[in-house]
Protein backbone atom coordinates (compact mmCIF):
# COMPACT_ATOMS: atom_id res chain seq x y z
CA UNK A 1 0.00 0.00 0.00
CA UNK A 2 1.19 3.52 -0.78
CA UNK A 3 1.91 5.97 2.02
CA UNK A 4 1.69 9.71 1.44
CA UNK A 5 3.36 12.09 3.88
CA UNK A 6 1.82 15.51 3.32
CA UNK A 7 1.66 19.00 4.80
CA UNK A 8 -1.27 21.33 5.40
CA UNK A 9 -2.00 23.85 2.64
CA UNK A 10 0.27 22.04 0.16
CA UNK A 11 -1.12 22.11 -3.40
CA UNK A 12 1.06 19.21 -4.59
CA UNK A 13 0.10 17.14 -1.54
CA UNK A 14 -3.59 17.64 -2.25
CA UNK A 15 -3.05 16.94 -5.95
CA UNK A 16 -1.23 13.67 -5.18
CA UNK A 17 -3.99 12.46 -2.86
CA UNK A 18 -6.70 13.48 -5.34
CA UNK A 19 -4.87 11.66 -8.16
CA UNK A 20 -4.66 8.49 -6.10
CA UNK A 21 -8.36 8.74 -5.23
CA UNK A 22 -9.34 9.33 -8.87
CA UNK A 23 -7.26 6.30 -9.96
CA UNK A 24 -8.81 4.12 -7.27
CA UNK A 25 -5.44 3.47 -5.65
CA UNK A 26 -5.55 2.79 -1.93
CA UNK A 27 -3.17 4.80 0.20
CA UNK A 28 -2.49 5.82 3.75
CA UNK A 29 -2.03 9.54 4.39
CA UNK A 30 0.06 10.96 7.21
CA UNK A 31 0.08 14.66 7.93
CA UNK A 32 3.43 16.08 8.98
CA UNK A 33 3.97 19.32 10.80
CA UNK A 34 4.15 22.04 8.14
CA UNK A 35 6.64 24.17 10.02
CA UNK A 36 9.00 21.28 10.75
CA UNK A 37 11.01 20.26 7.69
CA UNK A 38 12.82 17.74 9.90
CA UNK A 39 9.62 15.65 9.88
CA UNK A 40 10.12 15.11 6.15
CA UNK A 41 13.79 14.30 6.52
CA UNK A 42 13.00 11.58 9.05
CA UNK A 43 11.11 9.72 6.30
CA UNK A 44 13.88 10.29 3.75
CA UNK A 45 12.43 13.13 1.69
CA UNK A 46 13.29 16.75 0.99
CA UNK A 47 9.84 18.02 0.05
CA UNK A 48 6.19 17.17 0.40
CA UNK A 49 4.45 15.09 -0.57
CA UNK A 50 6.76 12.18 0.16
CA UNK A 51 5.28 9.04 -1.39
CA UNK A 52 6.35 5.52 -0.42
CA UNK A 53 5.46 2.10 -1.76
CA UNK A 54 6.01 0.03 1.35
CA UNK A 55 9.46 1.11 2.53
CA UNK A 56 10.62 2.26 -0.91
CA UNK A 57 10.62 6.03 -1.52
CA UNK A 58 8.87 6.70 -4.85
CA UNK A 59 9.28 10.46 -4.89
CA UNK A 60 6.90 13.38 -4.88
CA UNK A 61 3.86 14.37 -6.95
CA UNK A 62 5.69 14.51 -10.30
CA UNK A 63 7.11 11.01 -9.85
CA UNK A 64 3.67 9.73 -8.84
CA UNK A 65 2.13 11.16 -12.03
CA UNK A 66 4.83 9.51 -14.13
CA UNK A 67 4.43 6.19 -12.31
CA UNK A 68 0.68 6.17 -12.98
CA UNK A 69 1.21 7.18 -16.62
CA UNK A 70 3.80 4.43 -17.12
CA UNK A 71 1.60 1.77 -15.54
CA UNK A 72 -1.26 2.30 -17.99
Q: Please measure the distance between the N-terminal and C-terminal CA atoms of the chain and give it in whole angstroms.
A: 18
Percent of the chain residues topping a pLDDT of 90: 58
pLDDT at 37: 61
Residue 49: what are its φ and ψ, rounded to 5°? -80, 150
Average pLDDT in the 38-63 region? Answer: 83
Class of domain 2-70: alpha beta
Q: Is the peptide bond before 49 cis (omega within 30 degrees of 0)?
A: yes
Q: Which stretch of 6-15, 34-43, 53-62 has the lowest confidence by average pLDDT?
A: 34-43
pLDDT at 45: 73
- pLDDT tens-digit readout, 23-35: 999 999 988 875 5
pLDDT at 55: 84
Amino acid sequence: MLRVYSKDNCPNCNAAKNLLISEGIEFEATNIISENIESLRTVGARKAPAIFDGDVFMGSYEELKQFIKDSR
